[in-house]
Amino acid sequence: MSLSSADLRGRSTAAPGDGRRDTNAAVVFRAVLDHGPIARSGIARVSGLSPAAVSRQYLGLAQLGLVRERPELTVGGSVGRPQVPVDIDTDGPLVGGLHIGVPASTYCLLDLRGGVVARAQADHPGMAADAVLGTVLGRLPGFLAERACGRPVLAFGAVIGGWVDPGEGTVVRHAALGMRELPLRARLESVLGLPVHVDNHARAIAKAEILFGRPAARRSLVHLFIGNVVDAAVGIAGVVHHGPRSAAGDIDHLPVGARGVRCGCGRTGCLRAAASDTAVAERAVREGVVPEPDVRLVVDAAATGDRRADRLLRERARLVGRAAALLTDVLNPDVVLVTEMSSLLNPEYLAVMGAELVARSHVCDDPARLAPPHAGPAVLPVAGGTPALSALYRNPLRSVISRSVTFGHMLTGPDRSCHSAAVNPELRLVTRRHVDLRRQASAICAVRSSAPCRCL
């Protein structure tokens, strides 16, 4: 069985003013994410939907290649017809992602459980904003075309530090890279021909934890991102707070009591001035620990036994623990998440943060509340694709079907020619969406090229 483009359009919306189908599809999709592999009767039980409603929604999700049956996991011996478990299809569609950092940017492809399928890095130390963006945009199409290997790419996520407005798709302010009111979403969509979702990296990591990480994170979490920029994010009941124009999360000037460290704001002891990657690396150069101001060199030196480098990283860990204590006393979250390079690679630094949290906080006596992201060292690529995955799980039908009609066209004819207007002929990225349960379906090309599409 296969679906024509008319079928896809017909299935893309419910009755006018009725969003129940979209809502039910999202409920089933999240139930499979949280509990899969799980039988359809189990989905009905955990979701509260009727078995008939679950079957309808499962069929629609399976036709889009988002979920699949796992007959090899069927357990026999019970009365009645054996129930075949279903699960998220991690061998089918992908999302792309990008994390733009100060010294380097990371590209990725993720499966629908947030697993990293492919990743690459582009270094751009010291480059101005335009040069950084030019480097990133110049390499992205080739990366996706080469590494997607014919699998569907449904959407693209992009994250960066600083003040990011996802609604407008803009980087409002990123001081370290000199970006102001940069229309990042529009720039990426013009190159990729895919729907793009942008966000701040601290919020994206928090959303990834809510989707794929510790169950307690869905109740409440605070996330601290400590890199060349420092940011925070807060999640309550599974929703990450944005605030007006998504300006929430600026903790540059959180006072952590670092003596003698003067900030550009004129005060001393601000978190960014004392604990950012830039601050630690510059101090390491001044003290002769490393030859260049690169925190990666400091982390490497500590790993090889340099006590001076280890001391700098432990001092930073204590400052991060103080910042975590301040935020914990205000919000008392179930999980305090910290993304910081040295603690991702060496749990001893995380233990220092946890001890400082307990010593400074008036409400937290459990250092285990402080934890690294579930993705570990892969946190940046996972963050890059999370805005796209978050949108997909909020509304899988509209994220896939309606956009597939807008951004891709059916490949028809014996030569599989692609009948669509040119957007970026150099990008040979094909997205195949399997539209029957045996995954034998027509293909949808996500690249609108005027030339015949032969990239299958």
Who has greater pLDDT, 239 or 259? Answer: 239
396 CB contacts (<8 Å, ≥6 apart)? 25, 26, 29, 61, 64, 66
Of the candidates 67, 94, 88, the one whose C-alpha atom is nearest the C-alpha of residue 149 is 94
Sign of CA dihedral 257, 262, 268, 273: negative
Concatenating the DSSP letter of every residue in 339-396 gives: EEHHHHH-HHHHHHHHHHHHHH-SS---GGGEE--TTGGGHHHHHHHHHHHHHHHH-H
Q: Strand 163-165's sheet: what is its strand order?
A: 163-165, 170-174, 179-182
CB-based contact 27:395 (threshold 8 Å) = no
pLDDT digits (tens, 9 = 90+) for 243-291: 999 999 999 999 998 888 899 999 999 999 999 999 999 999 999 999 9
pLDDT attached to residue 401: 58
Q: Give the 3-state DSSP-derived string for 165-193, with helices as H, strands as E and coil as C.
A: ECCCCEEEEECCCCEEEECHHHHHHHHHC
**Structure confidence at residue 15 as a pLDDT band (50, 70, 90):** very low
Of the candidates 259, 261, 233, the one whose C-alpha atom is nearest the C-alpha of residue 247 is 233
Q: At what angle do helices 184-192 and 129-147 cross, to 10 degrees?
A: 40
Question: At residue 169, does pLDDT exceed 50?
Answer: yes
Question: At residue 105, does pLDDT exceed 50?
Answer: yes
- What residue type is assigned to position 416 of the chain? R
Rounded Cα gap, residues 168 and 158, in angstroms? 13
pLDDT digits (tens, 9 = 90+) for 351-360: 999 999 999 9
58 CB contacts (<8 Å, ≥6 apart)? 28, 40, 43, 67, 86
pLDDT digits (tens, 9 = 90+) for 57-69: 999 999 999 999 9
Question: At residue 416, does pLDDT exceed 80?
Answer: no
b/e string for 120-139 if b means 16 or more Cβ within 10 A? bbbebeebebeebbebbeee
Average pLDDT value for residue range 116-133: 92
Encoding tokens for residue 330? 């205000």
Encoding tokens for residue 446? 């996500």
218-373 CATH pick, 3.10.20.740, 3.30.420.40, 3.90.400.10, 3.50.50.60: 3.30.420.40
Rg (CA), the chain: 23
Domain ranges of the chain: 218-373
